[in-house]
Amino acid sequence: MNMRIGHGYDVHRFADEAGENSHVTLATVRIPHDRSLLSHSDGDVLVHALCDALLGACALGDIGDHFPDSDPRFAGAAGRDLLTAVLHKVALAGFRPVNTDLTLIAERPKLAPHRETMRLALSRVMDLPVNAVSIKATTTEGMGFTGRREGIACHAVVLLERDTDGSPA
């Protein structure tokens, strides 16, 4: 089998209180916002969904299996580092990413001004052309936890191909 598809989904909750220096980190990009996301790691919901999609495509379990939030080594873990580690596991399994399509679900912050920066950042970490990294955003029109601005959700889909230069699976 030379191609694999994977899907990932993640959610992080906003802190109740606005804090000094509050921000969200999405696709490794720090975006100022009036509230931060609560997380054991840096709360990069987009990277976490992408990591689960990559692991899923290789049937390697999920991000919680590899980086348990009970493990102090991963406290405050940067999305970039988690993604790099997951890409290494994908390479060891004999695959490499072809493209990814990510859908963020949030009322705020508005992502359009940051989208190209986020695509570029992910393309660099994933060693993909920017046109192979899609980031879309939608609201839920005020409904549900994302609509009430209680948190941000993200869906990720990724396609992998057999890496003929890499180690055999």
Least Cβ distance, residue 83 to Mg ion (angstroms): 12
Contacts to Mg ion from residues 2-61, by CB under 5 A: 10, 48
Least Cβ distance, residue 2 to Mg ion (angstroms): 30
- Rounded to whole angstroms, what are the CA distances from 18 to 3, 32, 108? 44, 12, 14
113, two tokens? 């001004």
Count, in order, helices (H) and strands (E) of the chain.
5, 6
Q: Is the Cβ of residue 10 or residue 163 nearer to Mg ion in the bound state?
A: 10
Beta strand spans in the chain (E):
3-13, 23-26, 29-32, 95-105, 133-138, 151-162
Judged by CB under 5 A, the number of residues near Mg ion is 2
Query: For Mg ion, which residue has the nearest CB?
Result: 48
Q: Is the Cβ of residue 25 or residue 163 nearer to Mg ion in the bound state?
A: 25
Q: Is the Cβ of residue 77 or residue 87 nearer to Mg ion in the bound state?
A: 77
Least Cβ distance, residue 45 to Mg ion (angstroms): 6
Which residues lie closer than 8 Å to 97 by C-beta, 6 or more apart? 54, 87, 90, 126, 128, 132, 158, 159, 160
Q: Is the Cβ of residue 149 or residue 162 nearer to Mg ion in the bound state?
A: 149
Least Cβ distance, residue 155 to Mg ion (angstroms): 13
Q: Is the Cβ of residue 55 or residue 96 nearer to Mg ion in the bound state?
A: 55
Least Cβ distance, residue 74 to Mg ion (angstroms): 11
155 binding Mg ion? (CB under 5 A): no
- With H, G, I as helix, E, B as strand and everything else as coil, classify residue 133: strand
- Beta bridge partners, 156, equal 8, 102
Q: Report, in angstroms and rounded to the nearest whole number, the Rg of the chain calculated over CA atoms.
A: 16
Interface residues with Mg ion (CB under 5 A)? 10, 48
